[in-house]
Structure 1
Amino acid sequence: MTDKTPSPVPAPAPEAQDGPDAPEARDGRGGESVPEARGGPEPTEGAAGRPSPIPVSPAVHKRLTSGLGGFSLAIGACLALVAVIYLITPRSDNEVLPTVDYSSQQWALRNDAPYTSYAPEGLPVGWRPTSSRLHGLDGGGKAPVAWHLGFVTPTDEYAALEQSNEKASEYVPRMTNNKNSLGTQQIGGVSWAKYYRKDKKANSLARTLPDGVSLVVTGTASYDELAVLVAALKPQPKKAAPLSPSATPGS
């Protein structure tokens, strides 16, 4: 190439073309191009028009997904509430014994026992029968017949009438928990032997009738309260044996 050789002329730039091969998309309004969105893709809706999940902090996510911890916290709160209710609920440590109707056993003893039985009549208000047990009536006369009748006294102590035609030398020591008496106590003009068992806190008054039947009044009640029960004891003749409910003390 010499200095007289003409320089090559650059080719003209190609013109913009319409159609699918055009470098810029158009929005159909007069062929204007649509600028590209900036700042990243915008949020879209999920399937069936549902919004996409809302982002939460790690702490909230942990509380929502840690099921065992939440369950333990709920159980602890319930137990605390139960404990508070238990502490503020009034309650008593004293056992409340049921009141019993001993009339049927009194009637059976009065009619079928081989001796004249005794039962309390006209006890003051506050004496409440809580137990009654009758033994020996089905023995055909070969076994001793015994009746136990227990009361709660007005001072919330215990007093019981024990009576049987068992041999007095065996029955009385067993019922009084002692073989040796402390002396005697006069009640209604009748002498009763006094017994005391310290380790059992048992006070007792005992008497053996001429027909061999022993009456023992015993319990944690004082001798004065036992004397009230003794004074209320009345013989129960067989000819006057209608079945009636146990009399309410003081009625």
Structure 2
Amino acid sequence: PDAAADRGPAGGPAAQPRSVQVSPGLYKRLTTGLGGFASAIVACLLLVGVIYLITPRSNKELLPTVDYRAQEWALAHNGPYRAWGPQGLPAGWRATSARLTGLGEKGKPVQWHLGFLTPSGQYAALEESNEKAKEYVPRMTNSKAATGARVVDGVSWDTYFRRDKKANSLARTLPDGVSIVVVGTASYDELAVLAAALKPLDKNGTSVVTPAPTQRS
């Protein structure tokens, strides 16, 4: 009976289990377990960190370019006051943000914001509104009192400086109560370029600005 048990189905010798030979390295990886897996993860993280450190990166935030002509046209034709906008800014000035609020809202002041990246890579913004100057100007300049005055194209602007925010500002309030502020990290010289480019926008048929063309589908 024992001899029969040692024979296979065809009467031959029963098949013996075969051993599989593996290399010492593979055997170690198969038997290391969780510790080896954790070591591999740490090694990968270190590699990613090294790649991050040696990869060149720009320190400048990528900002989109915006078209503010539609807002300019709407404010010029429908605003409660004669608006001012930049005309003929030199090359290198790029509009990166635009926001018009309060237009058509009864009892609310209109505010227009235009943000620019200057040729030197700094930030400069136009802020204008028919809000009360004593409230609007300090809020836009982040300052309670002017530090001096600067003449731009024959017009006097009050200067402001907020040291902790590194913000320079030029501000003036027009006879009709509209306040215009140019503010940013740009130097006073660059802010003066923006201030000099501001022109009144004609509300009549011969407007200084024209609406952006409408694309037809």
Task: Say whether residues 1:93 and 2:59 are aligned partners.
Answer: yes
Three-state SS of the structure 2 residue aligned to 1:179 is: coil
Q: 1:161 aligns with which of 112, 126, 129?
A: 126
Work out which of the two has the higher radius of gyration on C-alpha atoms and give 1 or 2.
1
Mapped partners of 2:45, 2:113: distance in 1: 46
Contact 2:172 2:181 in 1 (8 A): yes
Shift of the alpha carbon at 1:70?
A: 4.8
Q: CA deviation at 1:75?
A: 3.5
Letter in 2 for 1:94: K
Question: Residues 112-151 of structure 1 correspond to what in structure 2 (within 5 A)?
Answer: 112-140=78-106, 142-151=107-116
Q: Secondary structure at the match of 1:138?
A: coil
Per-residue deviation at 1:134?
Answer: 0.8
Q: Is the 8 A contact 1:164 1:213 kept in 2?
A: yes
Contact kept? 1:184, 1:192, Cα under 8 Å:
yes
Q: Is the 8 A contact 2:102 2:110 kept in 1?
A: yes
Alignment partners' CA distance in 1, 2:127 and 2:22: 81
Distance 2:130 2:26 in 1: 84
- Residue 52 (structure 1) aligned to one of 18, 26, 36: 18
Report the CA distance shift for 1:83/1:174 in structure 2 as closer, same or farther (over 3 A). closer
Percent of aligned pairs sharing the same letter: 61
Change (3 A) 1:73 1:180: closer
SS at match of 1:66: helix
Report the TM-score when normalising by structure 1.
Answer: 0.69
Residue 106 of structure 1 deviates from its aligned partner by 1.0
Structure 1 segments unaligned to the other structure (5+ residues): 1-44, 246-251
* In 1, Cα distance between equivalents of 2:63 and 2:25: 58
CA contact (8 A) 1:195 1:203 kept: yes
1:29 paired residue number = none
Letter in 1 for 2:105: G
Structure 1 197/61 Cα, relative in aligned 2: closer, same or farther at 3 Å?
Answer: closer
| Amino acid paired to 1:207 | R
Question: 1:167, 1:80 → 2: CA distance?
Answer: 57
The answer to whether the 8 Å contact 1:172/1:206 transfers is yes
Query: Partners of 1:61 and 1:152 in 2: how far apart?
Result: 58
In the TM superposition, residue 207 of structure 1 has moved relative to its aligned partner by: 1.2
Q: CA 1:85/1:130 → structure 2, altered by over 3 Å: closer, same or farther?
A: same
Alignment of 1:1-251 (within 5 A): 47=15, 52-53=18-19, 62-63=27-28, 65-66=30-31, 68=33, 69-140=35-106, 142-238=107-203, 239=205, 240=207, 241-244=209-212
Residue-by-residue CA offset, 1:77-113 (whole Å, 9 max, x unaligned) = 4334333332322112332222211111111111110
Structure 2: runs of 5+ lacking an equivalent: 1-12
TM-score (norm 2): 0.79
Q: Which amino acid aligns with 2:76?
A: R
